[in-house]
Amino acid sequence: MVEIVPVAEDLAASYRECLDVVAREKRYLAQIEALPLERIQGFVCESVATDAVQFMAVEGRQVVGWADIFPSWAHAVSHCGSLGMGVLPAYRGQGIGRRLLQACIAKAQAKGITRIELEVRADNERAIGLYKSLGFVQEATKRHAMRFDGVYYDALQMSLLQSAA
């Protein structure tokens, strides 16, 4: 049974392993490997201390996916947050990404983030479909936004605006 839980310090090593697997696919993330464990531990500790919008999908104590929305730091754009997420290959297509996103969106909006932004590779149809099903809309296409092994890929910029009450 996969549970969606808030980020926790004791999940740092497993989170790094999950991040590394997804990064090494050279398809879904801009990075091609996870940062060293010490850096990830520091990042996770800061996320816990600041009550960041960050959730993990765990099976037992193994992280099988994550999603986070970090706010922009400058005052005029502090209502905006950037989404990042990933799910291990064996766990895709089971609704885990949707559950992670729903948890993040709810917490982000509760914390005053009214615009959630993301960038997704244009050929990642499954993720684009998920984002659209949750209300994200495409705003732009960035041509040659990513390059892996000498091959360029376009990326879509998408956003979700909190509905006016």
Report the chain (165 residues): mean pLDDT per 10 consecutive residues. Answer: 97 98 94 96 97 97 97 94 97 97 97 96 96 97 96 97 69
Q: By the 8 A CB rule, do 105 and 55 touch? A: no
d(CA 35, CA 69): 19
What pLDDT sits at residue 41? 97
In a domain, 100, yes or no: yes
Contact between 119 and 102 (Cβ < 8 Å): no
Element spanning 63, H or E: strand 62-71
- Predicted confidence at residue 103, as pLDDT, reads 98
Kindly state whether residue 75 falls inside one of the protein's structural domains.
yes
For residue 56, the domain's CATH number is: 3.40.630.30
Active-site annotation holder among 131, 139, 152, 153: 131
- Kindly state whether residue 96 falls inside one of the protein's structural domains: yes
Does residue 154 form part of some domain? no
- Residue 156 placed within a domain: no
For residue 61, the enclosing domain spans 2-116
DSSP structure class, residue 163: P
State residue 128's pLDDT score: 97
pLDDT value for 165: 44
- Which residue of the set 17, 59, 119, 153 is catalytic? 119
* pLDDT recorded at residue 32: 95
Residue 28 catalytic? no
65 DSSP β-pair partners: 57, 87
For 44, the 3-state DSSP assignment is helix
Inside any domain, residue 128: no
Give the pLDDT of residue 1.
93
**Phi-psi category of residue 135: left, alpha or beta, with phi > 0 → left and psi -120 to 50 → alpha:** left
**CB neighbours of residue 61 within 10 Å:** 10
Residue 123: inside a domain: no
What is the per-residue pLDDT for 33? Answer: 96
| Number of domains composing the chain | 1
Is 119 part of the annotated catalytic residue set? yes
